[in-house]
C-alpha cells in the first residue's frame, strides 16, 4: 500500500484548472450553497458595525474597550482571510472534482509529506502573529496606570453597589465618572458570582465572592453608557443592569457634593407623611443618610434616589408612575427580586413616591 505512487497536488491542480475552463456551467448544489454562506457571513459581520446601539462592542468609547476592539479587528482580519481562502478552496474542489461517471476511479493518493508540513506550519505562522499582540495586550491591560480615583463595586443579587472610598460616596446602579481620569475598580461580590460589564467602556471582569478583582476604565468623552451583569447569577440575572454617567470634571464634582449632602427633614407636611412611612417600612433594608434609623444594608441605598435615571437596577425609568408600580408590587416587575411586596395602601404609595423622588 505504501508503494503507491504519490501524485503531487500542485501538478494535479494545474491540470484541474486547465480542465476547469471546459467544464459545463452546472454547479453542484453544495458549491452554490457554500458560496452563499461565504458571502452571507461576511455581510452579516459588516452590517454589525452600525455603532448606534447602546452595548455595541465594536463602537468603543472607553480606552480599554478601544484597545480590545483594535485587537479584535486584527484577529478578525486573519480569520476572514483564512475563511475566504479555505472555504473558497473547498468550493472549488466540490465543483471541480464532482463525480462525472459512476465508473471513474481517481488516483489513490495517500499523502504528501511536504504539503502536510506546509499546512502545519502555515497555521503556526498565523497563530504566532495573533499570539504576539494578544500577550502584549494582556500585559498592557493589566498594567497599573496613573490611577486618579478608586471605586469599589459590590455585586448583589440583582443590583450594583458603588462605593467611592476617597470621596465618601455610596450609590447604587448608577455610576458617575469624571471624563479623562483613570478609574481603578475593585470588584467584590456580596453573594454569588457576577460579572461587571460596560461594553462600550471595557471588557467584562468577573465579580467573585471571596475575591477582589481589579479593572481599570478611562473614558475621554462624556455620555451615558449601559452596563449589565454578564455572569448567570440567578433568576433576575437579565435585569441586573446599571448605567455609567461620564461627566466633565466640574459636573462630576457637583454630583459628589450633592451625594455627600445628607437628606434634609422635609418641611412640607405631605412629604413628612411619606418620610415617616419610608422610615417605618423601608429602613430595615435601605439606607437613607439623614433619615433617622434608615441604615439597612440589604437593598441599595435610597439617599438621592430621586437623582437617578432608573430604578430596580436599570429596569424601569425613574418616573413617579414607575416608582409607584415598583413599590406596589416589586415581584410583578422583577419576579424573584429580594424586595417583598410591602402591602402599602394606594394612599401610602402616593405619599412615599413624591418623598423618594424629592431625594436628589
Closest to another protein by CB, 178 or 330 = 330
Q: What is the CA radius of gyration of the chain?
A: 30
Residue range at the interface with another protein (CB under 8 A); choices 86-94, 170-178, 245-253, 343-351? 86-94
Minimum Å gap between C-beta 260 and another protein is 26
Give yes or no for residue 108 binding another protein (CB under 8 A).
yes
Q: Tell me, residue by residue from 307 to 336, as one string, x for binding to another protein by CB under 8 A and - for no binding.
A: ----------------------------xx
| H or E element in which residue 51 lies | none
Give yes or no for residue 17 binding another protein (CB under 8 A).
no
Give CA–CA dist 314/317, Å, rounded: 7
**Which of 22, 24, 25, 47 is in the footprint of another protein by CB under 8 A?**
47
Give yes or no for residue 105 binding another protein (CB under 8 A).
yes
Binding residues for another protein restricted to 134-153, rule: CB under 8 A = 134-135, 137-139, 141-142
Residue range at the interface with another protein (CB under 8 A); choices 17-25, 229-237, 252-260, 341-349? 229-237
48 alpha carbon, distance to own chain's centre: 15
Alpha helices in 221-336 (DSSP H): 249-260, 269-281, 320-328, 330-333
CB atoms near residue 127 (< 10 Å) = 12
340 alpha carbon, distance to own chain's centre: 29
Peptide bond preceding 208 in cis form (omega within 30 of 0): no
Alpha helices in 153-198 (DSSP H): none
The residues, ordered by sequence, that sit 6+ positions from 310 with a Cβ below 8 Å of its Cβ are 173, 174, 241, 243, 316, 317, 318
Residue range at the interface with another protein (CB under 8 A); choices 101-109, 166-174, 291-299, 343-351? 101-109
- Maximum distance among all Cα pairs of the chain, rounded to whole angstroms: 102
Give yes or no for residue 34 binding another protein (CB under 8 A).
yes
Closest to another protein by CB, 168 or 336 = 336
Residue range at the interface with another protein (CB under 8 A); choices 165-173, 224-232, 247-255, 352-360? 224-232
Give CA–CA dist 247/234, Å, rounded: 33
Minimum Å gap between C-beta 279 and another protein is 29
Residue range at the interface with another protein (CB under 8 A); choices 118-126, 161-169, 299-307, 350-358? 118-126
Give yes or no for residue 238 binding another protein (CB under 8 A).
yes
Give yes or no for residue 83 binding another protein (CB under 8 A).
yes
Give yes or no for residue 19 binding another protein (CB under 8 A).
no
Nearest alpha carbon to residue 65 among 199, 233, 186, 223: 199
Amino acid at each position: 500500500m505504501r508503494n503507491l505512487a504519490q501524485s503531487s497536488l500542485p501538478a494535479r491542480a494545474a491540470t484541474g484548472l486547465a480542465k476547469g475552463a471546459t467544464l459545463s456551467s452546472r454547479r453542484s448544489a453544495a458549491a452554490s450553497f457554500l458560496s452563499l454562506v461565504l458571502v452571507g457571513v461576511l455581510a452579516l459581520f459588516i452590517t454589525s458595525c452600525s455603532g448606534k446601539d447602546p452595548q455595541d462592542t465594536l463602537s468603543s468609547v472607553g480606552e480599554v474597550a478601544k484597545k480590545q476592539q483594535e485587537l479584535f479587528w486584527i484577529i478578525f482580519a486573519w480569520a476572514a482571510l483564512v475563511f475566504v481562502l479555505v472555504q473558497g478552496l473547498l468550493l472549488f474542489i466540490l465543483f471541480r472534482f464532482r463525480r462525472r461517471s459512476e465508473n471513474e476511479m481517481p488516483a489513490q493518493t495517500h499523502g504528501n509529506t511536504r504539503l502536510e508540513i506546509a499546512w502545519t506550519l502555515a497555521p503556526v505562522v498565523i497563530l504566532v502573529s495573533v499570539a504576539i499582540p494578544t500577550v502584549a495586550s494582556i500585559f498592557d491591560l493589566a498594567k497599573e496606570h496613573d490611577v486618579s480615583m478608586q471605586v469599589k463595586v459590590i455585586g448583589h443579587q440583582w443590583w450594583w453597589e458603588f462605593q467611592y472610598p476617597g470621596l465618601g460616596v455610596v450609590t447604587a446602579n448608577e455610576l458617575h465618572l469624571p471624563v479623562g481620569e483613570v478609574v481603578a475598580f475593585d470588584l467584590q461580590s456580596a453573594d454569588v458570582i457576577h460579572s461587571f460589564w460596560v461594553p462600550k467602556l471595557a471588557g467584562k471582569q468577573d465579580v467573585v465572592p471571596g475575591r477582589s478583582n481589579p479593572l481599570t476604565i478611562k473614558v475621554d468623552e462624556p455620555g451615558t453608557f449601559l452596563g449589565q451583569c454578564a455572569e448567570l447569577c440567578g433568576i433576575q440575572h437579565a435585569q441586573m443592569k446599571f448605567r455609567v454617567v461620564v461627566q466633565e470634571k466640574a459636573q462630576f464634582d457637583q454630583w459628589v457634593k450633592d451625594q455627600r449632602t445628607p437628606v434634609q427633614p422635609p418641611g412640607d407636611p405631605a412629604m413628612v407623611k411619606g418620610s415617616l412611612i419610608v422610615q417605618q417600612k423601608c429602613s430595615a433594608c435601605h439606607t437613607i443618610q439623614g433619615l433617622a434609623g434608615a441604615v439597612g444594608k440589604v437593598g441599595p441605598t435610597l439617599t438621592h434616589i430621586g437623582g437617578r435615571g432608573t430604578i430596580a437596577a436599570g429596569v424601569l425609568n425613574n418616573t413617579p408612575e414607575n416608582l409607584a408600580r415598583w413599590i406596589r408590587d416589586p415581584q410583578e416587575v422583577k419576579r424573584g427580586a429580594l424586595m417583598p411586596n410591602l402591602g402599602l395602601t394606594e394612599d401610602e404609595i402616593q405619599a412615599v413616591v413624591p418623598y423618594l423622588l424629592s431625594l436628589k
